[in-house]
Amino acid sequence: MDQGRHNLLGVLVDAVDYEGAVDRIAAAARDKQPLAVSALAVHGVMTGVLDRVHRHRLNALDMVVPDGQPVRWAVNRLYGLQLKDRVYGPTLMLKTCQRAAAERLPIFLFGGTAALLERLQANLVAQFPGLEIAGVQPSKFRRLTPPERDETVAQIRGSGAAITFVGLGCPRQEVWAYEFRGALRMPILAVGAAFNFHAGLLEQAPPTWQKWGLEWAFRLLKEPRRLWRRYLLLNPLYVGLVCLQMCHLRYYDPDSTAVPTEELLYG
């Protein structure tokens, strides 16, 4: 199911389910076409709400799926949709790997540490025996130089990969997908904490917490010092702004953006 793009606080979100998202990704991989994809929860949406330049990047992506339950609930309520589930980035990664294994579409993993990528590769191949991992590149945890950018593009394209997964964290991974989209000409999936989850380095929230949109609370309990500002400040602001949009008291223009004047080249 794919019901098109919808304006949520000025950020364009695709009303799509897992099957619709994976179908688009696989089709672009087979045809060697660019397709920049991000899975946004509340924090990801708010990065675009609060920054006109980043909102331009998000709205230029080919597909932004509703990663968080509050994002799905808001889109359903605003537009009378019936999305039955969110499209959770870590699950989308696994479903895409499953399709990639079935269709023999090699993947590339970009981001994280070398140790993380070693564990992630092993776990993915164990879960999907037919999956071909064409290559990996750990993050340098800084901005890349233009020559390093070119080397990264050459490495990924030369690997024979058909799909690239990026795990740099929000919003760096969305910037990366935006900036590398044209050069790579393949699906790029910005999947956030999925690398850490599937490598077994980070615990996921229990299914019941996820179902009721409380994954943020679980992560806050696990990492309060790092995440308290993200959740305790942005979550209430998100709810308030969505209420204004629902009540038609404020219009958020998705075209009210600012074009980036430089490449950030996160890597």
What digits encode the pLDDT tens for the residues 13-54?
Answer: 999 999 999 999 999 999 999 999 999 999 999 999 999 999
**pLDDT for the residue 228:** 82
Q: Compare 203 and 1 and report the one with higher pLDDT.
A: 203
Identify whether 260 is preceded by a cis peptide bond (ω within 30 of 0). no
- Please name the residue ranges forming H helices in the chain: 18-31, 42-49, 52-60, 69-79, 89-103, 114-127, 146-159, 172-184, 194-198, 207-211, 215-222, 224-246
**pLDDT for the residue 217:** 81
Alpha carbons 168 and 191: distance in angstroms, whole number: 8
**Stretch 67-94: mean pLDDT, rounded?**
96
Residue 65's DSSP bridge partners are 39
**Stretch 60-78: mean pLDDT, rounded?**
97
Contact 97, 131 (CB under 8 A): yes
pTM of the full structure: 0.95
**pLDDT for the residue 5:** 96
- Average pLDDT in the chain: 95
